[in-house]
Amino acid sequence: MPGTRDGALGRSPLLSRLAVHIVLIVFALYTLLPLTWLLIATTKNTADLFGTPGFSFARFSLGDNLVRLFTVDDGIYARWLGNTFVYAIVGAAASVIVSFLAGYAFDKFEFPGKERWFASVLIGVLVPAAVTTMPLYLLASATGIVNTFWGVFLPSIASPFGVYLARIFSNSYVPNEVIEAARIDGARELKIFTSIVLPLMRPGVVTLFLMAFSGIWNGFFLPLVMLTDTALYPVALGLYTWNGQAVADPSMAAVVITGSLIAMLPVIGLFLGLQRFWQAGIGTGAVK
Amino acid sequence: MSATSQHGRLAPPPTAPGNRGRGRKRIVGVAAAFLAPFFVLFLIFTIVPLIYAFGLSFFSEKSSGLGFEGKERNFVGLDNFVRAFQDDKFLASFGNVFVYCLVYIPTMILIALILALLLDSLVVRARGFFRLAFYVPNIVPGLIAAIIWLYLYTPGISPLVQAFESTGGKWDLTSQLSAVFSLANLAIWLHTGYNVVLFYAALQAVPREVLEAATIDGAGAVRTAFAIKARLISGAIGVAVLFTIVGAMQLFAEPLLLTSRATAISSTYTPNMFIYQAAFERNDIGYSAATAFIFATVIGVLSWAATRFTRKAQA
Amino acid sequence: MKYTRYTRPFAAAAVVVAAALAFSGCASAAPAAPTPTGPVDITFSSWLRGSQQVVDAFNASQKDVIVHFESVASGVDNYPQLAKQAEAHTLPDVVTTEYSRVADLASQGVLADLSKIAGDFVKKSYPESIQSLVTFGGKTWSVPLDAGTVQLYYRDDLFKQYGVKVPTTWDEYYTAAKAIKAADPNARIGSTVLSDMGLLAALAWQNGAQWAKAGDKAWDIHIDDDATLAWAKSYQKLLDEDLVWKDEAQALQQKQASGQLLSVISGSWYGAGLSQTFADQAGKWRVAKLPAPASGPSTGMLGGSSFGISKDSKKADAALKFIKWMTTTPEGIKARINGGISTVFPVNETARAAAVAAFDPKFFGGQDIYKVAAEGLANIPKWTWSPATATTMSALNDASAAVKAGTAPLASMFALAQKATVDALKNRNIAVN
């Protein structure tokens, strides 16, 4: 938004402009260099990974690494990627719907004990995963959903933080008058929600979806506990176990590095593609 | 915080006057229907396990003889809680995250604030690029970030370590101090960008008139930035601090990955790791549940304190 | 469809009800009874490479038993899962365990007592030192597959270049370490065993330590016994005089790549990873027996796996048939090796012949490294791991930070581990003398 604001630094001399840019560039280097290292590292075989400086290229082995990544352990990596897509897309979609239904209801409807209910949601934000994971495992074993898709999918849907944000989004994107007008027209509540409210909250929906998506995509604790069958693993957990094997068999290191890069690409792609929305979405969260 | 809200959340949804009773009842029904999916899942996957864990914390599994005759679950009252408060490792894990939070949170929030203020100043070009560059690490899974930084902490591979050691320091992942700094750096790298975007958006929402008034008062650029702008977004800062504390206390995946490579990070380095180890490695379920409850209580108290503190700072 | 993968879409709805059940200790899901006729279906979980190929070959070789395989996370991540599966009664019929966790898994209710059906078989098929790892407290708990005989992998070219003789005793190791550091301040004979607590245990074991012993009624735990402390005292010199690298794994591999690390002490399985990771150092590596202590030639063990039958299994006979085939027949070993690069070192002699025949010794300059490992195997003293080995290892690992930093002597670690282990056992109400 250059030019729309008139800050005090606007008339500052060249020197301070330079200083400001240097600070920003230094921090950008800090955030981007490790990723650059990862890019370079994926082109090395294990011996060069350890034997050559981090930021210089060696024998170009990206092809070999990719082949090994997708063939080691009978090509299970592709399966992990597929699993993760399913867990993340289905899980994030379900989570977004549930969060917005609740967040919208908290924002726009009056009902007895509303703020008490909302407080219980906020307490949910504070409950550490460690407290519930172990009993959750025991309960899941009792019902037979342990070591299944459902064991990872179902517990990740209800997100107290998601409801908290959804309420803020509803408050800032959806004017009460619009709903009132629709009601006078005789529209049903669910219809109002799906055809008026959700489109109005689009940046919020995208932001929450991305957060839930990357949360599940990167999720590790719940699958670690719930899943024994490696064929059901999401990619983060798979990489974790491979990394454990790299202690005994260092040649797995190059596979883990290459696998890490590939695993990040879908999420980074998604965030870049939907930039416009989430930057607005996070902003809304900040203002309230 | 609601000063800039366009549609005050405090205003109840207007209902047609003649229709009040029935409309209200109807709305309550609709609200219940909208809230049901969340609360049903919340009940099953958070509340029930929470109650179950609470119940388990009063039990302990006991073997007998050489340990091969099976186990019995016995009621032990408050034994598990008493044991927790006498367990050096459990107490040490709180010390570790406390030191970690002390290093990480103020540093990260301050850096994020400075960067957001700089981005907000008019002189900056390529704002979009910087915001994106800062944000990217936030998308990187904590585990992968830990793997990357593990290499970047390795002498001979990493130019960073070389640079550090050329200043006369010794980078040694076996020492407690480097363990804390390694973890804090990892977290700063991961999370600063998110808070920059957050603070920047909050700054954008500060009404122009307020800033102009300050400028006319003759406040200097730096003073405007810190004394006035930072104060205006103290609400956003408070929220960021709160969520950062809650997240930082729950540190788990990154140190878990580092345990095998950094001796100073023990297998019970953080409370979360301690709880996990008790439940899944030592199979000491009752004790794990008891320690988990103590941990949850500490987080609750800290969050409450953080909220109080930021409220006070705003007032 | 694999055995534990129930696909009940709305199982979650039953969770609340089940909560009450689980609380009172009535877990559900008992395995179905075996069908009286036709082939028997059994389930098997493992993280060992080549397991799928072993299962396929076994299923093709006979018609009585059909094995369903589940690949699981490796050892340290799988043990907690096994303990939890035992609680939920969802264990597969056949499970994999390293020797160090046999007692632990037996005490968690994972392993069935095999004394009646496999006690004699284990006795006649394996050397005595291996038997002691799976038979204790008067019961046999699992059937051994391979062993990680600890030995010395060394850079033949660099030892020659520095004019240093490959050590055969620990005294010679110390002398050689000094000579190498003197010849090149940027090179060391090896790295400290503090990087791996299993290795530390193996060296104490070599020196005649006996950390755990199952008596009739109670365990004897002596992690800080004389043999261990004597070893620690002699090894301390290497640390004090900075004769071995103390870096973490990543940095060590960097030193190994650049030839600053002249030897590695590890299990017999290490050859596979070494030849893959540092393929460009082919022909430069050799294997020697672990340097001997003053008491004469011996070695310890690092890693090595065995197979057990789960306590819930109702198909022990079929399971045992499969286990015997995997561990003691040449076909079973061949199938495993065909599954990829592996230096599996079978402890059963008949089975080992197949592994020797399949191994390509080029990386080790044509040396028969199996012969070295076999000689080592004959010299391993008896050893038993306690049911609290995980605690012992964590305690040692936590204590090692101070030793690496040089603020505590090596010998101080063992009393701490002793206390932690005894406490853990007592806390589980397991009897300790």
Instruction: Give the distance from residue B170's alpha carbon to the nearest chain C alpha carbon, in angstroms.
Output: 12
Report the residue of chain A nearest C260, measured CA to CA.
A51
User: Which of A23-27, A37-41, A186-190, C239-243 is predicted with the least confidence, judged by mean pLDDT?
Assistant: A186-190
pLDDT by residue, tens only, chain B of 315 residues: 333 333 333 334 444 444 445 667 778 888 999 999 999 999 999 999 989 999 999 999 888 888 888 888 889 999 999 999 999 999 999 999 999 999 999 999 999 999 998 888 767 778 888 888 998 998 888 888 988 988 888 777 777 777 777 777 666 666 778 889 889 999 999 999 989 988 888 888 777 777 666 665 655 666 666 677 888 888 888 888 888 988 899 888 888 888 767 777 888 899 999 998 888 878 888 999 999 999 989 988 888 887 777 666 665
Tell the residue number behind the tokens 């726009």, with chain if given: A108
ipTM of the modeled complex: 0.85
Instruction: Give the distance from residue B96's alpha carbon to the nearest chain C alpha carbon, in angstroms.
Output: 14
User: Higher model confidence: residue C6 or residue A77?
Assistant: A77
Q: Does A247 touch chain C (CB under 8 A)?
A: yes
Tell the residue number behind the tokens 């306690």, with chain if given: C386
- At A251, is the pLDDT very low, low, confident or very high (cuts 50, 70, 90)? confident
Selected for mutation to probe chain A from C8, C43, C54, C81 (highest A CB count within 10 Å) is C81
Q: What is d(CA A238, CA A223) in angstroms, rounded to the nearest whole number?
A: 10
Q: Tell me how far CA of residue B248 lies from CA of A127, B103, B253, B303, in angstroms.
A: 13, 11, 11, 12
CB contact under 8 A, A245 and C74: yes
CA dihedral B33, B35, B37, B41 (to 10 degrees): -140
CB contact under 8 A, C277 and A251: yes
- Give C285's strand partners: C155
Q: What is d(CA A2, CA B121) in angstroms, rounded to the nearest whole number?
A: 9
Report the residue of chain C nearest A52, measured CA to CA.
C254
Please name the residue ranges forming H helices in chain B: 20-42, 48-56, 79-86, 88-120, 127-135, 142-152, 159-166, 176-204, 208-216, 221-223, 230-232, 234-249, 253-259, 271-276, 285-314
CB contact under 8 A, A53 and B127: no
Q: What is d(CA C115, CA C97) in angstroms, rounded to the nearest whole number?
A: 17
Report the residue of chain C nearest A54, measured CA to CA.
C254
Considering only CB atoms, which chain B residues are within 8 Å of A30?
189
CB contact under 8 A, A143 and C14: yes
CB contact under 8 A, B123 and A154: no
**Pairs of residues, one from chain B and one from chain C, whose beta carbons lie less than 8 Å apart:** 119
Contact C304, C98 (CB under 8 A): yes
Contact C193, C232 (CB under 8 A): no
Contact B51, B61 (CB under 8 A): no
Instruction: Give the distance from residue B176's alpha carbon to the nearest chain A alpha carbon, in angstroms.
Output: 22
Mean pLDDT for each consecutive 10-residue tract of chain C (433 residues)? 33 36 38 62 91 93 94 86 86 95 94 94 91 93 93 95 95 96 94 90 95 93 95 94 87 88 92 86 94 91 94 94 94 82 79 83 89 90 93 90 87 95 92 91
Instruction: Give the distance from residue B45's alpha carbon to the nearest chain C alpha carbon, in angstroms.
Output: 9
Q: Could you tell me which of B273, C50, C257, C193 has the C-alpha nearest to residue A253?
A: C257
Considering only CB atoms, which chain C residues are within 8 Å of A147?
4-5, 90
Mean pLDDT (whole number) for A170-193: 88
Considering only CB atoms, which chain B residues are within 8 Å of C256?
none
CA B184 to chain centre: 12
The conformational region for residue A18 under phi > 0 = left, psi -120 to 50 = alpha, else beta, is alpha
Contact A98, B41 (CB under 8 A): yes
Please report all neighbours of B, defined by 3+ CB atom pairs within 8 A. A, C
Nearest to A54 among B152, B189, B204 (CB): B152
CB contact under 8 A, A248 and C269: yes
User: Higher model confidence: residue A252 or residue C21?
Assistant: A252
Residue B215: the pLDDT is: 62
Residue B219: the pLDDT is: 56
Please name the residue ranges forming H helices in B233-276: 234-249, 253-259, 271-276
Residue A44: is its pLDDT beyond 70? Answer: yes
Q: Does A76 touch chain C (CB under 8 A)?
A: yes
Residue B288: the pLDDT is: 92
Residue C338: the pLDDT is: 76
Residue A2: is its pLDDT beyond 50? Answer: no
Mean pLDDT (whole number) for A251-277: 88
Report the residue of chain C nearest B261, measured CA to CA.
C248
Q: Could you tell me which of B288, B199, B206 has the C-alpha nearest to residue B238?
A: B199
Instruction: Give the distance from residue B259's alpha carbon to the nearest chain C alpha carbon, in angstroms.
Output: 9
Instruction: Give the distance from residue A66's alpha carbon to the nearest chain B alpha carbon, in angstroms.
Output: 17
CB contact under 8 A, B46 and A243: no
